[in-house]
Amino acid sequence: MYWTKLQKQWNMEQCREDGFGSGNAPPESSGVKRGLMETLYWILLWCQLGLVLPVLIFLLFVKAPYGKFASDKTGLFRWDSRAAWLIMELPAFLTILVLFLLCPDRSGRRLTTVFLLFWECHYGYRTFVFPLLMKKSRKSFPAYIVFSAWFFNIMNGYINGYFLFFRRPGYEISWLTDLRFIAGAALFLWGFTIHVRSDARLRKLRKENGPGYYIPRGGLYEYVSNPNYLGEWIEWCGWALMTWSLPGLAFAAFTFANLFPRAVANHRWYREHFPDYPARRKAFLPGIL
């Protein structure tokens, strides 16, 4: 009831089905609000794409001060890491959900619900399950990292959600049998499995050995220092493929820009702290990098 009212207020036209892959907006303007949403979409999309290279270069030189690189001197306000992860990732979980609920067109709902489920499968895990399972750490999180992650999560949730539910609600159900969707969904699920299982291997280290850092072993850890990052990047590459969208591509590129430098830093850290660290292990991509 509440959502129906809200949808009416947005005064949006029924989004028509257009050719898959074109991503065209409905041709006639349906009011100032829709126009603003459309403008915001393009601004944020170009902003995200434009940030990929600067972020990659910046993070190759500056390590975000949390986890292994935490320093109690950084940041005025600091949070417990479990609370920080929950607060940090919540906007990613909510932004796309709100856009899904606000979209007035229900004709493409069956397919867009599938996309929503994939997205929330990752962010439900990251926002609620990961912090809940993680061991309470003595290390805290600077609040400015949480707020900068908000900026990304809202921007990224908006461009992906707006694209899927407003610009492209006419996804036809036959897309579910398209090779791009099938391959993308398989890639996503494979990446998600690697991601979750690698996080679990790290948790097990502290469960068995107590607080501190240890050399992770088993699974993809035999090949790379950060399979949890690699798994996440594979997921979003799968997302880009299954949605066949520019926002999906922007997300996959940004994830690489964010996680690859961190993987390199973690890899160096392991080598510096563990003289017996396996020599053949790479940072991020097995056998390559």
Ligand X SMILES: NC(=O)c1ccc[n+]([C@@H]2O[C@H](COP(=O)([O-])OP(=O)(O)OC[C@H]3O[C@@H](n4cnc5c(N)ncnc54)[C@H](OP(=O)(O)O)[C@@H]3O)[C@@H](O)[C@H]2O)c1
243 binding ligand X? (CB under 6 A): no
Size of the residue set binding ligand X (CB under 6 A): 21
Distance CA 226, CA 259 (A): 9
Residue pair 73/125 in contact by the 8 Å Cβ criterion: no
Nearer to ligand X, 180 or 206 (CB): 206
Q: Is 255 in the site for ligand X (CB under 6 A)?
A: yes
Residues from 100 through 139 that contact ligand X (CB under 6 A) = 134, 137, 139
Select the residue interacting with ligand X from 115, 119, 229, 260 (CB under 6 A).
229
From candidates 103, 187, 199, 249, binder to ligand X by CB under 6 A: 199
Question: Which distant-in-sequence residues (6+ apart) come within 8 Å of 96 by Cβ?
Answer: 116, 119, 120, 123, 157, 160, 161, 164
Residues 229, 194: Cα–Cα separation, whole Å: 9
Residue 202 interacts with ligand X (CB under 6 A): yes or no: yes
Q: Please list every residue from 79 through 98 that binds ligand X, using CB under 6 A.
A: 81
Ranges within 55-74 binding ligand X (CB under 6 A): 67-68
Could you give the CA distance from residue 46 to residue 57 in angstroms, rounded to a whole number? 18
Question: Would you say 162 and 96 are in contact if contact means Cβ atoms under 8 Å apart?
Answer: no
From first CA to last CA, the distance across the chain in angstroms is 52
The least distance separating ligand X from the CB of residue 215, rounded to whole angstroms, comes to 7
Instruction: Tell me the torsion sign for CA atoms 217, 223, 228, 231.
Output: negative
Q: Can you say how many angstroms the Cα of residue 173 is from the centroid of all Cα atoms in its chain?
A: 25
Considering only residues 159-198, where is the footprint of ligand X by CB under 6 A? 195
* Contact stretch for ligand X (CB under 6 A) within 10-18, 29-37, 105-113, 255-263: 255-263
**In Å, how far from its chain's centre is CA 46?**
17
Cβ-based nearer residue to ligand X, 136 or 280: 136
Q: Does 235 bind ligand X (CB under 6 A)?
A: no
User: Is residue 147 part of the contact set for ligand X (CB under 6 A)?
Assistant: no
Q: Which of 45, 185, 259, 264 binds ligand X (CB under 6 A)?
A: 259
**Residue 26 beta carbon to ligand X: minimum distance, rounded to whole angstroms:** 32
C-beta of 166: minimal distance to ligand X in Å?
A: 24
Residues near ligand X, by CB under 6 A: 67-68, 81, 134, 137, 139, 195, 199, 202, 205-206, 213-214, 216, 228-229, 232, 255, 258-259, 262
